[in-house]
């Protein structure tokens, strides 16, 4: 659920140590992540930024447990997911992680409420109950009148709101967003980020956003800049000062 | 998730129709070929059905209705002596040369029935009277099989094995696989038309007493007379087997059926596989969210099963309807038994299972990381 909570005592949500990842073999081998060390706290909005091909998406894929690193450790809320088997990772994802994608990835042929309910249905929750919960969440993201519509009936911003509702329905502790605003205009993108900022204020939750959209940097608590598969800098954003972006 | 799978399937109407149409055509072709095969095979046994006797007794060397070894009349008495036999009557089947007054000549099949009871004479007299068959030189002609002799009418005369015969009735009979005209007469007259035959009886038609089942009586007749006895359907299948083995029908139609199976499998697998490919991103999203592989496989199997059931329902329904509106005695031999619907259903299940397995392999191999690729 989307709630705003002020709670300064933050715990470690994501801990990545010595992470390496490459693709391909032999001469075609491409080393995309080099010795990544990173810690993200719960109740925070973290941006991973950098130019295309710098390894941002690979990093969040490993962080979310859908890619496996060659070496290194990834611990999410105390669970060393690098030690989990594939099926255990899938279970961990459906219970703990919410995903928001650049292209929304909504199923065109089911209603918005059903799209939102998918994570609960995957968990085995009865269809009716899952839909009821999805309807509540859609109302919270301002789409109470679009419950029985289909994604094709919505604007890009509305579709991304449905995707956010879907990402939050199983009350995840980690929300991973891949370029959530790149398919949206500036105003809609800002609205989406404001919504995600509210989501990130939950002290039990950590939001990670991959983006190269510098218009939205001001919403971040922490900016992790990557370059050539390495973390170039980590910058804390002080929201008490005027925005430097 | 199965409800979602169903909506994914029905939601894209164009793709769904492509899937269903592909399977429907496969089922229609399969059922149509099968129905023609069944229709042809049934026609090989049309005389057996028309005679309608529950038990058929033949010489042990006989292999079908059309391949008999004739028996002496005394064999009828031996069969009658078996306890449990309600009645046993002879039936003769012989070929003769028939010639019309106009000079049309050809082979005809002559069936001789028991003089007293006329058992073995088909129902469906359209002209004339049954009892006239006892008149000297009387024959009843099966309508629809005598066109080659100028469609003779009641009262017309024929030469049959050089003996003068007169048409006293016309029968509406089922279409037969055999092209030869059939003339019915009595056994006594058969002996006149074929004086050289010392063994005039081809079959002995038997009815069991109510106190004994046909199966038990068949056993008793075989044990006590040394003759072979068959139930109606066993004799029908024996005859069908004879024609199937000696005409190449199963091979020729079987090749068609095999082609349909191959084409059906390819169409079904290809369309279902293409459907899965189109939904790769959705399945990838489900995988990223954490769906279990068995649930994903179940969704694909479910979608495949739904398409199969709908495709089979429409395909077999259309062909069955065509079978129903096909006139019984039309040139088109067409019969769709429930067993054929069952067989095509099993085949369609096979198509769909194969298509689903191919799709499942593809779906399970989807890298969930694709969801992060724009």
Q: State how many domains chain B has.
A: 2
Residues of A in contact with B284 (CB under 8 A): 105
Q: Which of A101, A153, A162, A174 to mutate to test the interface with B (most CBs of B within 10 A)?
A: A101
Q: Which of B175, B195, B226 is the last residue of a domain?
A: B226
In a domain, B351, yes or no: yes
Of B173, B193, B226, the one marking the end of a domain is B226
Best of A86, A91, A109 to disrupt the B interface (most B CBs within 10 Å) is A109
Q: Where are the domains of chain A?
A: 12-105+156-236
> Which domain range does residue B112 map to?
72-226
| Mean pLDDT taken over chain B | 86
* Within-domain flag for B237: no
Same domain, B87 and B207: yes
Same-domain status, B100 and B201: yes
| Three-class DSSP category at A227 | strand
Inform me whether the C-beta atom of residue A74 falls under 8 Å from chain B C-beta atoms.
no
Q: Are residues B180 and B87 in the same domain?
A: yes
Q: DSSP letter at B11?
A: H
B219 has pLDDT over 90: yes
Q: Is the pLDDT of residue A3 over 50?
A: no
Is residue A8 predicted with pLDDT exceeding 50?
Answer: no
Are residue B222 and residue B286 in the same domain, yes or no?
A: no
Query: When comparing pLDDT for B233 and A143, which is higher?
Result: B233
ipTM of the complex: 0.82
Q: What's the pLDDT at A52?
A: 83
Which pLDDT value is given to residue B147?
63
Q: For residue B93, what are the contacts with CB-CB under 8 A and spacing of at least 6?
A: B47, B65, B68, B109, B110, B111, B112, B202, B203
**Residue B208 to residue B215: CA distance in whole angstroms:** 9
pLDDT of residue B220: 94
Of B213, B93, B281, the C-alpha closest to A108 is B281
Same domain, residue pair B129 and B190? yes
Interface membership of A2 toward B (CB under 8 Å): no
Let me know how long chain A is.
245
Q: Tell me whether residue B353 is in a domain.
A: yes
Residues B260 and B208 in one domain: no
Short-list B287, B364, B4, B11, CA closest to A125: B4
Among the three residues B226, B257, B286, which one is the final residue of a domain in this structure? B226
Q: Residue B11 is nearest to which of A90, A110, A119, comparing CB atoms?
A: A110
pLDDT at A4: 39
Does B62 fall in a domain? no
Q: Which residue of A has its CA nearest to B289?
A: A94
In a domain, B57, yes or no: no
Q: Which CATH architecture has domain A12-105+156-236?
A: 3-Layer(aba) Sandwich (3.40)
What percent of chain A is modeled with pLDDT above 70? 92
Which 3 state secondary structure label does DSSP give B140? strand
Give the pLDDT score at B206.
Answer: 95
Q: Does B325 lie at the interface with A, CB-CB under 8 angstroms?
A: no
| B264, B337: one domain | yes
Q: Does A94 touch chain B (CB under 8 A)?
A: yes
- Mean pLDDT over B257-272 rounds to 79
Q: Answer whether B288 sits within 8 Å of A91, measured CB to CB.
A: no
Check residue B145 and give its pLDDT: 61
Whether residue B108 sits in one domain with residue B6: no
Provide the 3-class DSSP secondary structure of residue A135: helix
Partner A contacted by B292 (CB < 8 A): yes
| Cα–Cα distance, A70 to B341 (Å, whole number) | 55
Confidence label for A240 from pLDDT (cuts 50, 70 and 90): low
Q: In this structure, are B282 and B323 located in the same domain?
A: yes
Do residue B221 and residue B356 come from a single domain? no
Q: What is the DSSP string of B179-227?
A: -S-EEEEEHHHHHHH-TT-S--BSEEEEEE-TTS-HHHHHHHHHHHH--
Same domain, B269 and B312: yes
- Please give the full DSSP string across A54-90, using - where no structure is assigned: SSHHHHHHHHTTSS--SEEEEEETTEEGGGS-HHHHH
- Same domain for B163 and B76, yes or no, is yes
Closest partner residue to B7 (CB to CB) among A66, A103, A109 is A109
């Amino acid at each position: 659920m989307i709630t705003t909570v002020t709670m300064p005592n933050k715990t470690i949500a994501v801990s990545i140590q010595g992470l390496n990842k490459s693709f391909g073999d032999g001469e075609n081998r491409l080393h995309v992540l080099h010795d990544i060390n990173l810690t993200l706290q719960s109740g925070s909005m973290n941006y991973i930024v950098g130019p295309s091909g710098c390894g941002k998406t690979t990093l969040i894929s490993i962080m979310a447990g859908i890619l496996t690193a060659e070496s290194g450790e990834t611990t999410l809320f105390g669970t060393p997911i690098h030690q989990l088997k594939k099926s255990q990772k899938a279970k961990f994802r459906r219970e703990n992680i919410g995903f928001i994608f650049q292209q929304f990835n909504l199923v065109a042929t089911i209603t918005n409420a059903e799209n939102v309910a998918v994570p609960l249905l995957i968990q085995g929750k009865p269809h009716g109950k899952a839909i009821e919960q999805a309807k509540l969440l859609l109302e919270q993201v301002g789409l109470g009148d679009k419950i029985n519509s289909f994604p094709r009936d919505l604007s890009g911003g509305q579709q991304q709101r449905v995707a956010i509702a879907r990402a939050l329905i199983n009350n995840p502790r980690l929300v991973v967003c891949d370029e959530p605003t790149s398919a949206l205009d500036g105003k809609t993108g800002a609205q989406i980020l404001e919504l995600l900022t509210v989501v990130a204020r939950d002290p039990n939750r950590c939001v990670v956003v991959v983006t190269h959209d510098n218009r939205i940097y001001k919403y971040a608590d922490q900016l992790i800049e990557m370059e050539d598969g390495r973390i170039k800098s980590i910058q804390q954003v002080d929201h008490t000062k005027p925005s430097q972006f | 998730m199965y409800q979602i799978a169903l909506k994914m399937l029905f939601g894209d109407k164009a793709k769904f129709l492509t899937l269903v149409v592909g399977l429907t055509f496969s089922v229609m072709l399969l059922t149509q070929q099968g129905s023609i095969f069944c229709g042809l095979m049934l026609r090989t046994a049309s005389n057996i059905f028309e005679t309608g006797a529950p038990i058929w007794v033949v010489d042990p060397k006989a292999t079908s209705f059309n391949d008999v070894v004739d028996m002496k009349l005394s064999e009828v008495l031996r069969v009658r002596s078996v306890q449990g036999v309600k009645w046993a009557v002879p039936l003769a089947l012989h070929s003769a040369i028939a010639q019309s007054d106009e000079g049309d000549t050809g082979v005809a099949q002559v069936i001789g029935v028991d003089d007293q009871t006329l058992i073995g004479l088909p129902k469906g007299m359209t002209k004339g009277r049954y009892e006239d068959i006892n008149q000297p030189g009387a024959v009843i002609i099966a309508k629809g099989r005598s066109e080659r002799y100028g469609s003779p009418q009641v009262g017309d005369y024929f030469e049959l094995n050089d003996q003068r015969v007169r048409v006293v009735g016309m029968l509406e009979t089922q279409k037969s696989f055999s092209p030869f005209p059939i003339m019915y007469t009595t056994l006594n007259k058969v002996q006149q038309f074929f004086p050289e035959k010392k063994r005039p009886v081809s079959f002995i038609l038997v009815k069991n007493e109510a106190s004994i089942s046909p199966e038990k009586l068949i056993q008793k007749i075989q044990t006590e007379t040394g003759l072979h006895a068959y139930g109606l359907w066993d004799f029908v299948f024996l005859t069908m087997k004879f024609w199937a083995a000696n005409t190449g029908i199963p091979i020729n139609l079987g090749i068609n059926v095999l082609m349909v199976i191959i084409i059906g499998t390819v169409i079904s697998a290809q369309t279902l596989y293409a459907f899965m490919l189109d939904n790769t991103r959705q399945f990838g999203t489900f995988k990223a969210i954490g769906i279990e592989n068995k649930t994903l496989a179940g969704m694909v199997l479910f979608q495949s099963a739904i398409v199969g059931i709908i495709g089979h329902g429409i395909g077999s329904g259309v062909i069955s309807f065509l079978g129903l509106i096909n006139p019984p005695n039309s040139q088109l031999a067409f019969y769709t038994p429930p067993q054929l619907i069952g067989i095509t259903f099993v085949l369609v299940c096979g198509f769909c299972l194969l298509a689903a397995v191919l799709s499942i392999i593809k779906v399970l191999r989807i890298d969930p990381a694709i969801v992060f690729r724009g």
